[in-house]
Structure 1
Amino acid sequence: MIGSLTLDQLRVLVTIVDSGSFSAAGRKLGRVQSAISQAIATLEEVQGVTLFERDGRRPRLTDTGRVLADQARLVLASAARFESVAAGTRTGLEPELVIAIDPLAPTEPLIASLAALSATFPSLPVRFSTEGLGGSLRRLRSGDAALGICLLLPAVPDDLEAYPLLRVGMRAVVAPGHQLAALERPATQADLAPHVQLVLSDPVDPGAGNYGLASARLWRFVDLARRLDFLLAGFGWCRMPDHLVAGLVDAGKLVAFTIEDDPTPREGLTIHAAHPRQRPLGRAGRWLLDDLRRRLAADAQA
């Protein structure tokens, strides 16, 4: 019962619309026609509306009936999802899976695994959000996310269980007209210091988690795409994920340069999948993590 409604009444209404008649609906639902007619009559009486015109051989929806039949479908679909989530929870499935991803993590490796997750657990609600730098770690610790795909620097925190997934190569790049683009040798600290460095920062704590700072002038960004816009416009230099700028370097829209004694690992930065030690992943989260690791391992061997 939903107020003065029942799901059965809504189911009868939708079945009549789909089957074309009261008698066909009765056959489909395994009821006599009089029971179908009574269910609709009760629904009309309680709601104070007319759902069907009954002046012909076949009942025809009124304008109100058409709108309410569409609403009935939405309610029934929502009720089905409600039951499915409850049933999944009884078997150890999370009621919802929330995933937070850092801006430096490439999303392409996740796509196949997320598609497979949806096919395996079609009724599982999944929320997926791209966070500013440090956002994934905050959401994991606050309990707002179950799984983070994130950069953990300078080391994996003790309160997290983390699994290395892949490495992201980083390139120092500038626009072609920038002074650093003309260097024919590795840039020194003295070369970098006068120029604006475009820094990806934590929106909550801009001074935290900044690594590889080399300039006296810092412009801070939360949005990786907006930082790229300023980079292309020639406002400064920065290190960018290779998967985002390789094509732009090849096209001559950006120029890559090397930095003397660059602290950035040559093999790239490690992206981890992580969750709090005190909150183990549920069945779907474990499935996603295993599938993602398997796919990335296969790609690395290819």
Structure 2
Amino acid sequence: MFRAKSTLEQWRILQAVVDHGGYAQAATALNKSQSSLNHAVAKLQHQLGVELLEVRGRKAYLTPRGEVLLRRSRYITQSVMELEQLAGNLERGWEPSLTIAREIIYPMDKLITAINAFLPNGRGTRVSVIDSVLNGTHELVEENKVDIALCGGNPPKGHLAQPLCVVELILVCHPSNPLAAELKIQDDKFLAQHLQIVIRDTAAKTNKDIGWLKAEQRWTVSNFHEAKAILCSGSGFCWLPKELVEKELASGDLVRLYLTGSESRKIPINLVVPSRDDQGPAGEALELLILAQHGISCQRQ
């Protein structure tokens, strides 16, 4: 029977020495003595028969072999951490709370219907909905801050996604806006001369906004409802979800603009579960109810 020569703790110590740039810094970060870290790494090298680190001056550097082994060790320690998290989730059972990231173009009525269907059997689970935009939704997924994400556009890299629907954005303005007199806008340079309303990206690490961004005059707001209120006051133009402005278009409070080559924009919406291993029965139940809103049935074992 195979018996490991090394321990996870030894590999974690080696990772810390490399990540923090030396034994002294790693000892501070791990709240351990420097001598215990030296001993652990020395023992690991002896057990494996491979030199992992070499010290030059006051800093420890990986050897070529150490670099290969350290890279593989990260996968192992990460897997063990995820395994322990999974065991904890199974022990806890039904989740006390769930957080959903909703790209703001996703139809809110469908999400409300799914949450209402979840409520009778929800066992008191609290549900929080975070309205997010563009990379903000992806950021919440990548940082594992939500249980379910309704993402617009391409799903975050490395995550599986279930397509749900497609949202159509159309170009609109107030009837008093000079743009409304144009039967068809032939050149986007003409649009650039007018005030544009755009939606702010909610990501902390990016500075992109939703919409065509060539207009010299631009007002940035947090959501489509604020954008619609500005448009109805007579100012600016904006790309808005078609479903959101159907009443205003029918009443004549807003008018649709037609841009040659880009009369509308269609954005796919995908459902993403950031970590299946972390998903509990409550999250699974709510996910299935959201899928059902789009006629998607999914059998789970």
Q: Is the pair's TM-score, using the shorter chain for normalization, greater than 0.5?
A: yes
Match of 1:114 in 2: 115
**Equivalent residue number for residue 292 of structure 1:** 290
Q: Aligned residue for 2:45?
A: none
AA partner of residue 192 (structure 1): L
Letter in 2 for 1:106: P
Separation of aligned partners in 1, 2:137 and 2:278: 16
Structure-2 change in CA distance of 1:280 and 1:161 (3 Å): farther
Q: How does 1:103-252 map to 2 (within 5 A)?
A: 103-152=104-153, 155-203=154-202, 204=204, 207-208=207-208, 210-252=210-252
Read off the aligned partner of 1:240 and give its amino acid letter: L
Q: Write the distance in 2 (CA, Å) between the matches of 1:140 and 1:279.
A: 14
Distance 1:143 1:168 in 2: 25
Q: Secondary structure at the match of 1:158?
A: coil
Q: CA deviation at 1:193?
A: 1.2
Question: In 2, are the aligned partners of 1:173 and 1:256 still within 8 Å (CA)?
Answer: yes
The answer to whether the Cα contact below 8 Å between 1:133 and 1:222 also exists between their aligned partners in 2 is no
Could you say what secondary structure the match of 2:160 adopts?
strand
2:85 corresponds to: none
2:271 maps to 1:270: no
Which SS does the other structure have where 1:168 is aligned?
strand
Count of residues paired in the alignment: 207
Q: Which residue of 1 aligns with 2:31?
A: none
Secondary structure, aligned partner of 1:225: helix
- Post-superposition Cα deviations, 1:110-160, rounded to whole Å, max 9, x if no partner, equal 1221111111223222222323554332222223211112313xx222232
Structure 2: which amino acid aligns with 1:284? Answer: A
TM-score when scaled to structure 1?
A: 0.62
CA contact (8 A) 1:159 1:277 kept: no
Partner secondary structure for residue 201 of structure 2? coil
Counterpart code for 1:235:
S
Name structure 2 gaps, 5 residues minimum. 1-88, 297-301
Work out the percentage of aligned pairs sharing the same amino acid: 23
Question: Does the Cα contact within 8 Å between 1:176 and 1:253 map onto a contact in 2?
Answer: yes
Instruction: Provide the rounded CA distance (Å) in 1 between the counterparts of 2:206 and 2:214.
Output: 16
SS at match of 1:270: strand
Q: Do residues 281 (structure 1) and 279 (structure 2) align? A: yes
Larger radius of gyration: 1
On the 8 A contact 2:199/2:224 being kept in 1, the answer is yes
Change (3 A) 1:89 1:119: farther
1:185 Cα deviation after fit: 2.0
Structure 2 contact 198–219 (Cα < 8 Å) conserved:
yes
For residues 230 and 278 of structure 1, what CA distance do their matches in structure 2 show? 41
Deviation at 1:231, TM superposition (A): 1.3
Q: Secondary structure at the match of 1:161?
A: coil
CA displacement 1:136-187 (0-9 Å, x = unmatched)? 32222223211112313xx222232221111112110000000110111244
Structure 1 157/89 Cα, relative in aligned 2: closer, same or farther at 3 Å? closer
Q: Distance in 1 between matches of 2:91 and 2:291?
A: 27
The Cα of 1:283 is off from its aligned counterpart by 1.8
How many angstroms does 1:263 deviate by? 8.1
Question: CA contact under 8 A between 1:89 and 1:95: conserved in structure 2?
Answer: no
Indicate if the aligned counterparts of 1:200 and 1:223 stay in contact, CA closer than 8 A: yes
* Matches of 1:106 and 1:206, distance apart in 2: 25
My pick for the range that moved more, 277-286 or 138-147, is 277-286
- SS of equivalent residue, structure 1 residue 250: helix
Q: Is the 8 A contact 2:141 2:156 kept in 1?
A: no
Q: CA RMSD in A?
A: 2.5
CA contact (8 A) 1:147 1:281 kept: no
1:262 and 1:159 mapped to 2: Cα distance?
31
Give the match for residue 63 of structure 2: none
Q: Is the 8 A contact 2:90 2:280 kept in 1?
A: no
Mean CA deviation greater in 170-179 or 281-290: 281-290
Partner amino acid for 1:174?
Answer: C
- Which whole-Å CA distance do the structure 2 matches of 1:241 and 1:131 have between them? 15
The whole-number CA distance in structure 1 between the counterparts of 2:138 and 2:118 is 23
| Unpaired segments ≥5 residues, structure 1 | 1-87
If the length of structure 2 is used for normalisation, what is the TM-score? 0.62
What is the SS of the residue equivalent to 2:253?
coil
